[in-house]
């Protein structure tokens, strides 16, 4: 069933669970994530990131993912990830996305607050949930011009109060696109944040989070963790093997079968670690 993010995050937190949010790029990974969530009897969030939007118009993703979500046996939210452009967010909402993230993390605090408030005002009318970000989670690729800014608890409190976002992404030690699980979570910073706000927390870059930390985060008001690189690594690694082992196979649906199976295994494991 198709839902927005608000209720599934609150329900998960009440039960010391966290909702897995997976960056997906089309039918192959979206379907395997949905199957993993159904087998785990867990809600799930299908996210569309910047790379996906640059590859294909968001309206096409919306039609595909909305249809898949409506036919699923578990609650599914479709979410636009890391959008910095107001017009893209409007397009996503018009196309049927049930949740959006406005990323003003590289802006001065007041400008981030004002821009996010405008998005929340628009989204509330459409029953669409909004995620904001305070502080900034950088990328493992140091060539990308993204500043690392650890979240200040008092700024998180101010941001949450002023914007009334439904979920708040914070920077507490993770990196986007990490390929190994060696992120060092700053639990002291997280504890200070959750003492000041009751907004569900979001952790980006969670491929790099150790299994024991994923389990631990379910006790810290973390409603959502973002996972993308782990799925891409599973799919691409297995696809390379399939192409090497089957040089005369040109039907991509046959080559995709094992990569999809491996993505499903990863998704099930992450969902289980998050309490489901």
Q: Domain of 188: which CATH number?
A: 3.20.20.70
pLDDT for the residue 143: 47
CA 20 to CA 30: how far, in whole Å?
13
> Domain of 121?
5-271
- Output Rg (C-alpha) for the chain, integer angstroms: 18
End-to-end CA distance of the chain: 18
Q: What's the CA gap between 157 and 229, in Å, rounded? A: 30
**Domains held by the chain: number:** 1
* Distances 33 to 18, 25, 54, 218, 224 between C-alpha atoms, Å: 16, 11, 22, 20, 15
CA dihedral 149, 153, 155, 159 (to 10 degrees): 110
- Output b/e per residue, 208-245; b: 16+ Cβ within 10 A: bbeeebbbebbebbbbbbbbbbbbbebbeebbeebeee
Question: For residue 46, what are its two tokens?
Answer: 């299908």
150 assigned to some structural domain: yes
Alpha carbon distance 175, 117 (integer Å)? 26
Contact 76, 8 (CB under 8 A): no
Identify whether 232 is part of a domain: yes
Look at residue 105 and tell me if it is in a domain: yes
Token couple for 223: 């409603």
Question: Residue 261: which residues within 8 A CB-CB, separation 6 or more?
Answer: 32, 238
Residue 14 forms part of a structural domain = yes
Say what the pLDDT of residue 197 is.
96
The structure tokens listed for 114 are 């004002």
* Separation between Cα atoms, residue 265 and residue 254, nearest integer Å: 18
In a 13 Å sphere around the CA of 4, the CA atoms on its Cβ side amount to 18
246 within a domain of the structure (yes/no): yes
- Between the alpha carbon of residue 223 and those of residues 7, 96, 151, 204, the distances in Å are 10, 22, 17, 12
Asked whether residue 145 is assigned to any structural domain, the reply reads yes
Q: What is the pLDDT of residue 148?
A: 64
Output the pTM of the full model. 0.93
4, 93, 239, 267 from 260: Cα distances, Å: 26, 29, 9, 11
Q: Which residues of the chain fall below pLDDT 70?
A: 138-148, 174-182
- Let me know if residue 276 belongs to a domain: no
> Facing residues of 77 across strands?
45
Write the pLDDT tens digit of every residue in 70-90: 999 999 999 999 999 999 999
95 in a structural domain? yes
Distances (CA, A) of 130 to 14, 122, 232: 20, 10, 25
Nearest to 44 by CA among 69, 20, 68, 64: 20
């Amino acid at each position: 069933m198709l839902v927005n993010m608000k209720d599934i995050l609150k329900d998960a937190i009440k039960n010391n669970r966290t909702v897995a949010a997976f960056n997906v790029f089309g039918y192959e990974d979206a379907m395997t994530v949905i199957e993993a969530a159904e087998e785990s009897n867990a809600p799930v969030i299908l996210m569309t990131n910047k790379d996906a939007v640059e590859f294909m118009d968001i309206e096409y993703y919306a039609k595909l993912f909305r249809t898949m979500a409506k036919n699923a046996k578990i609650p599914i939210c479709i979410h636009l990830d890391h959008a910095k452009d107001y017009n893209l967010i409007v397009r996503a909402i018009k196309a049927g996305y049930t949740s959006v993230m406005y990323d003003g993390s590289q802006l001065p605090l007041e400008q981030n607050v004002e821009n996010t408030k405008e998005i929340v005002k628009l989204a509330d009318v459409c029953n669409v949930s909004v995620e904001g970000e305070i502080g900034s989670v950088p990328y493992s690729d140091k060539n990308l011009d993204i500043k690392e800014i650890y979240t200040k608890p008092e700024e998180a409190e101010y941001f949450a109060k002023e914007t009334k976002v439904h979920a708040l992404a914070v920077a507490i030690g993770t990196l986007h696109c990490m390929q190994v699980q060696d992120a060092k979570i700053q639990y002291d910073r997280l504890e200070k944040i959750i003492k000041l706000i009751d907004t569900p927390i979001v952790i980006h870059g969670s491929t790099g989070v150790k299994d024991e930390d994923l389990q631990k985060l379910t006790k810290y008001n973390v409603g959502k963790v973002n996972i993308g690189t782990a799925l891409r690594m599973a799919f691409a690694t297995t696809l390379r093997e399939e192409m090497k082992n089957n040089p005369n196979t040109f039907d991509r649906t046959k080559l995709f079968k094992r990569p999809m199976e491996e993505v499903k295994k990863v998704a099930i494991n992450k969902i289980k670690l998050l309490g489901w």
